[in-house]
Amino acid sequence: MRTIGIGGAGSKIAVKLDAQSVVVNISEVELSKIPTSGEKIQASLRDGSGVFQGARMDPQIGLEAYGSVSRQLSNLVRGAMVIAATGGGTGNGITAGILKELAGRAEKIAVEEKTVFALVLPYAKMEPDEFVINTSDFLNGPVAAAIDSGNTGNIFMFSNRCKFEKQLAEDKYNQMIVNSLRDFFAIPAKNAQLKLLEEHIDQADFALYLSKPYFNHFTSFNYNPDNDFGKQLSARWNPLLLPPEQAIEALFLLEVPAGNDGTCFYNILKYFNDQDVKPLYSVVENPNLKNPRVSVSLLYSRKPAEEVQDLNRESEEHAQTKVRRTIDQYVELEPLQVNLDNEAAKVKSDGQDDVIAMLKRINKL
Amino acid sequence: MPTSSSPTELFERQLSRLGEEHFLVLLWAATGEYKQVKYNITNLFDDLKHGGITRTKQTAVAIVESLRILCFIDVRDERNRKNIYITEFGAKALEKLIKTGRYVKKGSAFLEEVKS
């Protein structure tokens, strides 16, 4: 699958995932810093100001620049994964252009041509309000329209929460995102390479799953068959992604050590059956493992407006704290005694003196 | 109508009959004198028009004439111009009007162009 990184943050993740990624930026300077053997696309603004300044955190500038590369990108995004951060101007604006173009397509998009999106959302509690506002507009506008049109593939909603809470370096955090994505995208390859014990998820199955216009939450963990699967799953949500809602569809790969018959997958099936979900699954034997390991993906539908509410809630708490601090730092003012009659007399007398002084100066008074 | 022979009473009555237009003529005449600028009936007519008080020269002349008869202003023919000067009675009237705050001061476009 081709990977396309949009904007500074998106490009950095993209090239970590695939050294041949296509990267897109407005700023020539930013573009020159990204080490890729793939194509570098510079989106330009009419007045040429973006070459050095980029989108200046303004998604409108990003969207305007999208116009200069829209034809090129609309071909490149077919069957590709687009990676972008939503807080700034370039990733947000150009990705918004791509989503709008997809939402406006009248013809049905074939499974293998669907575009998958990996979006990195700001952590509302600690990142600037401007990033949160940009993200809210992005989710409510282009993302909502693209989901409603059914013309996107899966959307992975990464969040910077983990980065800030665990105080991780950007490079390390990006590597965690990349490792996580690689883990998920390795599912069909593992099916092809390892001994199959139950069912099979091939490339076509996986591509069909990826082509569905839902949010995708995936995670993987060592599975203890003696304990409840649901409890283990909810304790091991992927901390890099926003937590999921009730699953509509699911997929899991159970890897078991050599000698394990893999029948513990029935417990997992039962869990999904209780949720009225019929998952796509397979069980393989992995001789490198000592304990069973499960990779799970849930497709869930959530209105982007609800994601925005979550963002706003976090941002609101932050704002209220700021207000409280402002109130705590108030300055005590002297009570102001105002006599309205005196004040009125002052207003009336305004300009009286100069006329009287003038009359005296000309010896008329 | 009650009558009184008191000069103060007469002055008060004269004063009570002065309108905004009279107040402005007194103010502008005094300002002209203060700035040592000759302020004539043509200047006054332009200022009254500018201030939205009247659009006819006859009215401007009537206002000036009434103030002259009350001895609040002098009108002197100087080099073919009828220049207006405030009298001491006029100054007292203007002082009273200013102190009561009955009318609001308005600038004279003509006099404002002149530096004091």
- Alpha-carbon gap: B52 to the closest alpha carbon of chain A (Å): 22
Q: Do the beta carbons of residue A54 and residue A64 sit within 8 Å?
A: no
The mean pLDDT of B41-66, rounded to a whole number, is 93
Chain A positions in Cβ-Cβ contact with residue B90 (cut-off 8 Å): 364
Q: List chain A pLDDT tens, one digit each, 365 residues.
A: 899 999 999 999 999 999 999 999 999 888 999 999 999 999 988 777 766 677 788 899 999 999 999 999 999 999 999 999 999 899 999 999 999 999 998 888 999 999 999 999 999 888 888 888 889 889 989 998 998 888 999 999 999 999 999 999 999 999 999 999 999 999 999 999 999 999 999 999 999 999 999 999 999 999 999 999 999 999 999 999 999 988 999 999 999 999 898 899 999 999 999 999 999 999 999 999 999 999 999 999 877 667 777 777 776 776 677 666 666 666 666 777 777 766 666 665 566 778 888 999 898 88
Q: Is residue B110 part of a domain?
A: no
Chain A positions in Cβ-Cβ contact with residue B30 (cut-off 8 Å): 355, 358-359, 362, 364
| Order of strands across the sheet that contains A280-285 | A40-42, A22-25, A3-6, A81-85, A116-121, A155-159, A215-222, A293-300, A247-256, A280-285, A195-199
Distance CA(A253)–CA(A245), nearest Å, equals 20
Q: Which residues pair with A254 in a beta bridge?
A: A283, A294
Q: Is residue B5 part of a domain?
A: no
Q: Does the CB of B116 have a partner CB in chain A at under 8 Å? A: no
Query: Which has the closest alpha carbon to A120: A164, A72, A184, A77?
Result: A164
Query: Which has the closest alpha carbon to B18: B53, B56, B66?
Result: B66
- Token duo for residue A334: 């002297």
Q: Is residue B8 part of a domain?
A: no
CB atoms within 10 A of CB A46: 10
Q: Does the CB of B27 have a partner CB in chain A at under 8 Å? A: yes
- Token duo for residue A63: 């969207």
Query: Which has the closest alpha carbon to A194: A293, A55, A86?
Result: A293
Chain A positions in Cβ-Cβ contact with residue B106 (cut-off 8 Å): none
The mean pLDDT of B50-69, rounded to a whole number, is 93
Q: Is residue B44 part of a domain?
A: yes
All domains of chain A, ordered by start, with CATH? 1-180 (3.40.50.1440), 186-301 (3.30.1330), 315-361 (no CATH)
Which residues in A have their CB inside 8 Å of a CB on B? 348-349, 351-352, 355-356, 358-359, 361-362, 364-365
Partner-chain contact A364 B31, CB within 8 Å: no
Q: Do the beta carbons of residue A154 and residue A116 sit within 8 Å?
A: yes
Which of A346, A355, A363, A365 is the best residue to mutate to test the B interface, defined by the most B CB atoms within 10 Å of its own CB?
A: A355
Closest residue in A to B30 (Cα) is A359
Residue B112: what pLDDT? 84
In a 3-state reduction of DSSP, which class is residue B71? coil
Backbone angles phi, psi at B39, to 5 degrees: -115, 110
Question: From start to end of B8-110, where are the E strands?
Answer: 73-78, 81-86
Q: Do the beta carbons of residue B26 and residue B32 sit within 8 Å?
A: no
Q: Is residue B30 part of a domain?
A: yes
- Alpha-carbon gap: A344 to the closest alpha carbon of chain B (Å): 11
pLDDT for B2 beyond 60? no
In a 3-state reduction of DSSP, which class is residue B83? strand
Partner-chain contact A348 B101, CB within 8 Å: yes
Q: Is residue B107 part of a domain?
A: no
Partner-chain contact B27 A361, CB within 8 Å: no
SS (H, E, C) chain A: CCEEEEHHHHHHHHHHHCCCCEEEECCHHHHHHCCCCCCEEECCCCCCCHHHHCCCCCHHHHHHHHHHHHHHHHHHCCCCEEEEECCCCHHHHHHHHHHHHHHCCCCCCCHHHCCEEEEEECCCCCCCHHHHHHHHHHHHHHHHHHHHHCCCCCEEEEECHHHHHCCCCHHHHHHHHHHHHHHHHCHHHHHHHCEEEEECCCHHHHHHHHCCCCEEEEEEEECCCCCCHHHHHHHCCCCCECCCCCEEEEEEEEEECCCCCCCCHHHHHHHHHHCCCCCEEEEEECCCCCCCEEEEEEEECCCHHHHHHHHHHHHHHHHHHHHHHHHHCCCCCCCCCCCHHHHHHHHHHCCHHHHHHHHHHCCCC
Residue A312: what pLDDT? 72
Q: Is residue B68 part of a domain?
A: yes
- Alpha-carbon gap: B30 to the closest alpha carbon of chain A (Å): 7
Q: What is the radius of gyration, based on Cα positions, of chain B?
A: 14
Which of A343, A354, A358 is the best residue to mutate to test the B interface, defined by the most B CB atoms within 10 Å of its own CB?
A: A358
Number of domains chain B contains: 1
Instruction: Please give the interface size between A and B, counted as residue pairs whose CB atoms are below 8 Å apart.
Output: 40
The 10s digit of each residue's pLDDT in B11-41 is 999 999 999 999 999 999 999 999 999 999 9
Query: Which has the closest alpha carbon to A51: A37, A38, A60, A61?
Result: A61
**Burial class for A168, CB neighbours closer than 10 Å (0-12, 13-18, 19+):** middle
Query: Which has the closest alpha carbon to A282: A194, A174, A182, A180?
Result: A194
Q: Do the beta carbons of residue A284 and residue A253 sit within 8 Å?
A: yes
Closest residue in B to A364 (Cα) is B88
Q: What is the CATH number of the domain that holds B97?
A: 1.10.10.10
Query: Which has the closest alpha carbon to B108: B39, B15, B55, B58?
Result: B39
Q: Is residue B74 part of a domain?
A: yes
Count of alpha carbons within 13 angstroms of residue A156, beta-carbon side: 27
Partner-chain contact B91 A365, CB within 8 Å: yes
Chain B positions in Cβ-Cβ contact with residue A349 (cut-off 8 Å): 101
**Burial class for A226, CB neighbours closer than 10 Å (0-12, 13-18, 19+):** exposed
Residue B67: domain span: 20-101
Q: Do the beta carbons of residue B90 and residue A364 sit within 8 Å?
A: yes
**Distances, alpha carbon A33 to alpha carbons A12, A24, A234, A331, in Å:** 9, 12, 39, 49
